[in-house]
């Protein structure tokens, strides 16, 4: 990669971005040049993928997307990734050589100083050993505290140094200072569990100031709406809410043993602890959004209705409405396309081949632990219904056929074992908005949707199946 060509690319990019910002386009533009790219795909994430582009043969790329406020985005290039702190209207240019990623990484443009700090922060996180959670949490108490204190002291000095050299965005500085305040405490809440697991001992036997940690969490200000983008701050509130849920369920045993009971207890805990409406709405939104994206409107009906009736955040309400609308094409009663697959014998097969039966579909992958855990329940249910007009179809979304074929044959997995190309971007995964697995579908005898996110075989699926047989 010649220095002169990079300089010309940066200048052209800056001229373009400056022209756009004069009339203020709320889009964010990320462009750059990648030497020795090992992947042609570049993805932008904000909790989930929000944009993607292709890296050209000469290593250049450019991607743009709409933004409403400042965010910490994650950019992935094949096996490597980095964070960028960007605001609406920002343009930034990335230069990197994949053969020497850490030493060649450079940024030019809006919020380059903030994003460069994030890159250096992540480098130090890995180099310090803190990034190896099992090793870090496996340390004895005194070594753990010494390592933790050294890490945050060094990182804080890096931020102070950056602040003395550059004028950093105040919102960015506030979030990083919140990291120094709350991440050490979050580590402390995790230490007993991780330490017990790594060293194969009981949590009760660990010498650790658990009550002191608990008291610090109890004294936290839970109303900091200005810190709702701080991961550690939100993580500690989640911990406080979880502890309160446990107390509620201890006192009311009728809430145990069902997702509905847990959901009710969570709402009760949030009502009690979160007095700031903005904070409460955000945590309710996060909880409902996660379930809505995975299970769909049918399975979050009561919580979604509660939020819509009580929230004071029109923006969050609109986002949930948008997610809900995406489920309309796959709601109960909708037709399902005739997807193509290949079976374990290597023959082409179609979903329509199963018409005339109910079809219970398991979308899984060989690397997915929770998927494998459902297999005994799947086999048991398949045996129970062997004389009924229902087909049990497993669809692998592994990246390649080899691990799927190997596991199916090694474990003598019988029945309908099918494979789909393109993994997460396969037609069936895209159509049913599969963003986590295992994911189960239930289709009727005509190929229409009964449930686009059905219960697991270890759950209550038999009630639904029996209703439609």
Per-residue confidence band for 253, with pLDDT thresholds at 50, 70 and 90:
confident
Q: For residues 162 and 132, what is the distance between their CA atoms, to the nearest angstrom?
A: 26
∠ at Cα 83 (79, 86), nearest 5°? 140
Q: For residue 13, what pLDDT band results from cuts at 50, 70 and 90?
A: low
Predicted confidence band of residue 25 (pLDDT cuts 50, 70, 90): confident
Q: Is the pLDDT of residue 2 over 90?
A: no
Binning pLDDT at 50, 70 and 90, where does residue 446 land? very high
Using CA atoms of 377, 366, 46, 15 in order, give the dihedral in degrees to the nearest 10. -160
Is 269:245 a contact under the CB 8 Å cutoff? yes
Query: Minimal CA–CA distance to 135: which of 124, 148, 123?
Result: 148
pLDDT of 5 above 50:
no
Distance in angstroms (rounded) separating the CA atoms of residues 143 and 195: 12
CA 266, 272, 274, 278 torsion: positive or negative? positive
Asked whether the predicted pLDDT for residue 9 surpasses 70, the reply is: no
Q: What is the predicted pLDDT for the residue at 7?
A: 45
Q: What angle do CA 219, 221, 227 make, to 5 degrees?
A: 140
Neighbours of 346 (CB within 10 A): 9
Question: pLDDT grade, residue 21 (50/70/90)?
Answer: very low
Position 20 scores a pLDDT of 47
pLDDT confidence band for 262 (50 / 70 / 90): confident
3-state secondary structure of 419: strand
Q: Is the dihedral of CA 263, 264, 267, 273 positive or negative?
A: negative
pLDDT tens, 271-287?
999 999 999 999 999 99
Flag the least confident range among 24-38, 147-161, 393-407: 24-38
- In the predicted model, is pLDDT for residue 156 greater than 60? yes
Give me the helices (H) in 40-84, please.
none
**23: pLDDT strictly greater than 70:** no
Query: Per-residue pLDDT tens for 42-83?
Result: 999 998 889 999 999 999 999 999 999 999 999 999 889 999
pTM of structure:
0.85
Quote the CA–CA distance of 415 and 392 in Å, as a whole number: 7
Res 24: pLDDT: 58
C-beta atoms surrounding 363 within 10 Å: 23
Helix (H) or strand (E) holding 38: none
pLDDT confidence bin for 1, thresholds 50/70/90: very low
Give the model's confidence band at 257: pLDDT under 50 very low, under 70 low, under 90 confident, else very high. confident
Give percent of the chain above pLDDT 90: 87
> pLDDT tens across 293-308, in order?
989 998 888 889 989 9
* Nearest-angstrom CA–CA distance, 220 and 47: 26
Q: What is the mean pLDDT of residues 355-382?
A: 96
Identify each DSSP E strand in 296-347 by its residue range: 340-343
**Alpha-carbon span 185 to 60, nearest angstrom:** 42
């Amino acid at each position: 990669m010649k220095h002169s060509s990079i300089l010309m690319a940066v200048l052209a990019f800056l001229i373009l971005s400056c022209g756009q910002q004069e009339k203020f386009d709320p889009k964010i533009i990320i462009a750059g040049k990648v030497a020795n790219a090992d992947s042609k795909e570049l993805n932008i994430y904000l909790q989930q993928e929000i944009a993607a582009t292709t890296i050209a043969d000469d290593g250049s790329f450019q991607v743009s997307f709409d933004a409403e406020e400042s965010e910490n985005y994650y950019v992935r290039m094949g096996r490597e990734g980095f964070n960028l702190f960007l605001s609406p209207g920002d343009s930034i240019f990335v230069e990197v050589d994949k053969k020497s990623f850490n030493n060649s990484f450079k940024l030019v443009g809006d919020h380059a100083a903030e994003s460069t700090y994030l890159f250096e922060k992540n480098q130090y996180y890995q180099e310090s050993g803190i990034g190896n959670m099992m090793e870090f949490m496996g340390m004895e108490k005194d070594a753990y505290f010494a390592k933790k204190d050294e890490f945050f002291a060094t990182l804080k000095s890096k931020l102070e140094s950056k602040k003395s050299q550059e004028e950093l965005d105040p919102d960015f500085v506030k979030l990083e200072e919140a990291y120094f305040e709350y991440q050490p405490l979050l580590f402390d809440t995790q230490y007993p569990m991780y330490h017990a697991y790594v060293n194969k001992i009981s949590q009760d036997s660990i010498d650790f100031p658990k009550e002191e940690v608990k008291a610090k969490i109890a004294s936290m200000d839970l109303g900091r709406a200005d810190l709702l983008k701080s991961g550690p701050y939100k993580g500690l509130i989640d911990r406080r809410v979880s502890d309160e849920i446990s107390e509620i369920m201890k006192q009311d045993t009728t809430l145990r043993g069902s997702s509905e009971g847990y959901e009710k207890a969570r709402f009760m805990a949030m009502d009690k602890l979160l007095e700031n409406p903005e904070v409460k709405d955000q945590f309710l939104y996060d909880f409902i959004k996660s379930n809505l994206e995975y299970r769909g409107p049918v399975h979050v009906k009561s919580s979604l209705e509660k939020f819509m009736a009580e929230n004071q955040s029109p923006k969050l309400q609109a986002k949930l409405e948008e997610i809900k609308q995406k489920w309309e094409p796959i709601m109960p009663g909708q037709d399902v396309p005739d997807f193509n697959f290949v079976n374990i014998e290597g023959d082409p097969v179609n979903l329509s081949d199963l018409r005339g039966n109910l079809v219970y579909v398991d979308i899984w992958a060989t690397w997915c632990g929770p998927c494998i855990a459902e297999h005994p329940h799947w086999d048991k249910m398949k045996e129970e219904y062997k004389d009924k007009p229902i087909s049990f179809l497993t669809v692998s979304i592994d990246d390649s056929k080899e691990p799927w074929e190997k596991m199916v044959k090694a474990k003598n997995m019988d029945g309908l074992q099918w494979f789909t190309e393109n993994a997460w971007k396969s037609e069936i995964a895209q159509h049913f908005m599969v963003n986590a697995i295992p994911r189960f579908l239930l289709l009727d005898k005509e190929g229409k949707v009964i449930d686009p996110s059905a219960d697991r075989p270890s759950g209550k699926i038999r009630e639904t199946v029996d209703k439609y047989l």
